[in-house]
Every structure is written in structure tokens, then in C-alpha cells.
Amino acid sequence: MAALAEIAADISMIGHNSPPEPTPFDAFTVHIGDLFEEAKNHLDGEGIATQAQADAVSKLLDMIRTASKDADKARVEEKKPHDDAAKAVQARWKPLIDKCDLATDACKKALAPYLKRLDDEKRAREEAARKEAEEKARIAAEAMRAAAVDDLSAREAAEALEAEAKKAQAEATKAANDKAHAKGGARAAGLRTYYHPELVSPSEALRHYVATNPEAVKGFLLSLAEVDVRSGKHQIPGFNVIAEQRVV
């Protein structure tokens, strides 16, 4: 009886170790591989000489297009669960990130007027310190020029003025480096200057970039012309619109 039970168990396991069913990717790998090999047989560099050859290549073209379209559908289907999962994660986290962005923007807008006012005050002190340093440097230079080389007292006074000028310059540098900020965390909040262009004279700007970056201008003009050609225009000033026939 034990032997029969073992045989029955062995029979029940038959097929459990058989190869898995081929996936769509496996099937398309074989199918497209076969089509590619067939294409190499027809496209051997000798060219198409007969209608029969043209019809065979046309049929092969249709089969390859169909395989590509079906393979892409299978790719989209296989990827869909991952896309859905990614969208679900994004949807779950987005409200939290949006709240942070909203609060961050509100904090920055609340800080901006105060930091701007503080920065204006610091820049005013910087300007005053710079002017004071320049004036002291001028006075010291004049005193040094006026002091006779053998007048020890005058030389001593001039050097004292020079030392004062250097000290004033150091204070001016310190004032220049003193930036408006708010320290309340690991990263201080401060002001940063941003620049953006405002177009005021298109013709002058065009002349500038034609002279300094002609290839970029050519690329931009070509992109405009391509839009016109796609819309059906075949006469464009400054361009030759070239007709080219392609297999569809």
C-alpha cells in the first residue's frame, strides 16, 4: 500500500515542473525576431527589382507594423498595474506635499516685507560705512603725501590716519557682508536676487543674437518654418520648401 501511495504521489506531481507558459514578451520576442530575420533575407542591399519583390516587402512591412502595434499594446497592458500603483501613491502623497508648498509660500510671503525692510537698512549702513572709509582713506593719503620724510610727528599722525582708514574699510566690508535673514531652524531664511529678461526691443534683440548666437537663431527660425510647412504653407520668405516622397 505504501508503494502505491508513493506512486500516486509521484503521478500527482507530473507537470508541476513543466516550463511556465510563455509571456506576451516571450511570444513577441520570438515573433519579431522571426520577422527581423525575414526582413534581412529581403533587404540584402541588392534593391527591389520586380513587382513580386516589392509586394513581398510591402507584406512584410505590414506584418512588422502590426507586430509593433500589438507589442506596444502588450507593453502598455503589462505596465498598467505599475502605472496605476504609481498614480495611487502620487494621489495619496500629493495633498500632503501641496499643504507643505502652500505653507512654505505663505511663510516666504510673510517674511519678504520684513527682510526687505531689514535689508534696506543694512544696505544704507553699508553705503554710509563705504563712504566713511573712502573719506578716511582720502584724508590719510593726503596726510601721507603732505608729511615730510623727516617730520616724524607728521609721519606718525599720517600713519595713524591710515590705520583708521583701514579699520573703516574693514567695517565697510563687514557691513557689505551683513545680509538680512531670519534664523529659526537648520536653514536661515534670507533674500536672494533673481533675474529675468523683459523683451523691450525685438529688432535690437534679434540683431544681438544674430551676431552672438547665429546657430540658435537659425534653429528658432527653422522651427517656425516647420510649423508653417505642417500647416500647408509651401512659400516662406527666406526658405526653400523641399518636397520629399516617403513610403507610408
Cβ-in-10-Å burial (0-12, 13-18, 19+) of 133 comes to: buried
Domains of the chain by residue range? 201-248
Residue 239 CB neighbour total at 10 angstroms: 16
Report the distance separating Cα 137 and Cα 168, nearest Å: 9
What is the residue-level pLDDT of the chain in tens, covering all 248 positions?
Answer: 444 344 344 434 444 556 678 899 999 999 999 999 999 999 999 999 999 999 999 999 999 999 999 999 999 999 999 999 999 999 999 999 999 999 999 999 999 999 999 999 999 999 999 999 999 999 999 999 998 888 899 999 999 999 999 999 999 999 999 999 998 888 899 999 999 999 999 999 999 999 999 999 999 999 999 999 999 999 999 999 999 999 99
Question: Which residues on adjacent β-strands are paired with residue 221?
Answer: none
Q: What is the pTM of this model?
A: 0.64
Report the distance separating Cα 4 and Cα 10, nearest Å: 10
CB 138, CB 184: distance < 8 Å:
no
Q: Among all chains, which residue has been given the C-alpha cell 506512486?
A: 7
Report the distance separating Cα 111 and Cα 103, nearest Å: 12
Cβ-in-10-Å burial (0-12, 13-18, 19+) of 158 comes to: buried
